[in-house]
Structure 1
Amino acid sequence: MHEQYITNLFNNCQVGRLLGIEVYDLREGFARGRLTIQKDHINVFGTVHGGILFTLADHVGGACGNTLGKKSLLVESAIHYIKAVNEGETVLAEAMVSHRGRKIGRIDIKIYNETMEIVALMHMIFYIGSDDHSPKIV
């Protein structure tokens, strides 16, 4: 597995960069990412918008799925919001493959606040493609 290639791929994704998501600590079947909550991430009630946490979980989960050596794509996901997050806080997402079949897998993602309390839980079902997900050597 090419950890640095996958890290660079996801850290150069325009959506992740727009929000400020950093993916790091990739291993086969595992990924971490973080995001510092900015003013533009806040909803009308003064806490982080759920879509921001969803995107963080989706992004880090996507990086996790792609550590398996094949191009992997999200099929379905569900998220459960547990605790509010405020502007200025940094949240950490940890994603782990909990099931890997021949073509379908499951990833579980936990999002923590700075005191390591769980603020959201996501599970995603992903498709494992047949194309290798490795850098092309020219």
Structure 2
Amino acid sequence: MQETGARTHDPARAIFGDDRASQALGIELVETGNGFARTRMRITDAMVNGHGIAHGGYIFLLADTTFACACNSHGPTTVAARADITFIRPARGGDLLVARAEERTRFGRSGIYDVSVQRGDELIAEFRGHSRSLHGEQINQPEGARP
């Protein structure tokens, strides 16, 4: 696993840099490596539903963003083909959630990634994402590095 700053061009950081939706929600990209990413997000009062707990859509978005960073860490533009989440326990306003994505396998242009969302040591949700790399496209390469 590499720290994000250890590489000269980090495709995960490049895609996250253009992800206005995730940034608007306060998601921070903490660490990336090949097939790996870690993010965090604080649950705000605006993210709490009528039950007084974090709306599941925000937790899904955190996990999905982390998945996107991990599956794009290799360079080719990669998108989600499928994703699902299991909610294990509720998060609440003020909670700091940390999501960690790990690549399970890559085969051809496809991959499978697992994301755990935690509050401290407590598991909040488990997410599984299936990815698909697009033909010949690279994410935001620096000028001069494009073919």
Same fold flag (TM > 0.5) = yes
Unmatched 5+ residue regions in structure 1? Answer: none
Q: Is the 8 A contact 2:99 2:116 kept in 1?
A: yes
Aligned to 1:87: 93
Q: Work out the CA distance in 1 between the residues paired with 2:90 and 2:24.
A: 22
Deviation per residue, 1:59-78 (Å, 9 max, x gap): 11001100011110001011
Matched, 1:47 2:28: no
Q: Is the 8 A contact 2:15 2:139 kept in 1?
A: no
Q: How large is the RMSD of aligned CA atoms in angstroms?
A: 1.5
Shift of 1:19: 1.1
Change (3 A) 1:12 1:69: closer
Unmatched 5+ residue regions in structure 2? Answer: 1-6
Q: Is the 8 A contact 1:108 1:123 kept in 2?
A: yes
Q: Work out the CA distance in 2 between the residues paired with 1:110 and 1:90.
A: 14
Q: 2:38 aligns with which of 9, 25, 32?
A: 32
Q: 1:15 aligns with which of 7, 12, 21?
A: 21
The alignment-based identity, stated in percent, is: 24
Shift of 1:135: 1.4
Q: 1:71 aligns with which of 49, 66, 77?
A: 77
Normalised to the residue count of structure 1, the TM-score between the two structures is 0.92
Which secondary structure does the structure 2 equivalent of 1:84 belong to? coil
Which secondary structure does the structure 1 equivalent of 2:131 belong to? strand
Q: Is the 8 A contact 1:105 1:127 kept in 2?
A: yes
Q: Work out the CA distance in 2 between the residues paired with 1:41 and 1:94.
A: 20
Q: Is the 8 A contact 2:31 2:38 kept in 1?
A: yes
Matched, 1:122 2:127: yes
Normalised to the residue count of structure 2, the TM-score between the two structures is 0.86
Deviation per residue, 1:69-108 (Å, 9 max, x gap): 1110001011000011111110000001101011111010
The count of residues paired between Structure 1 and Structure 2 equals: 136
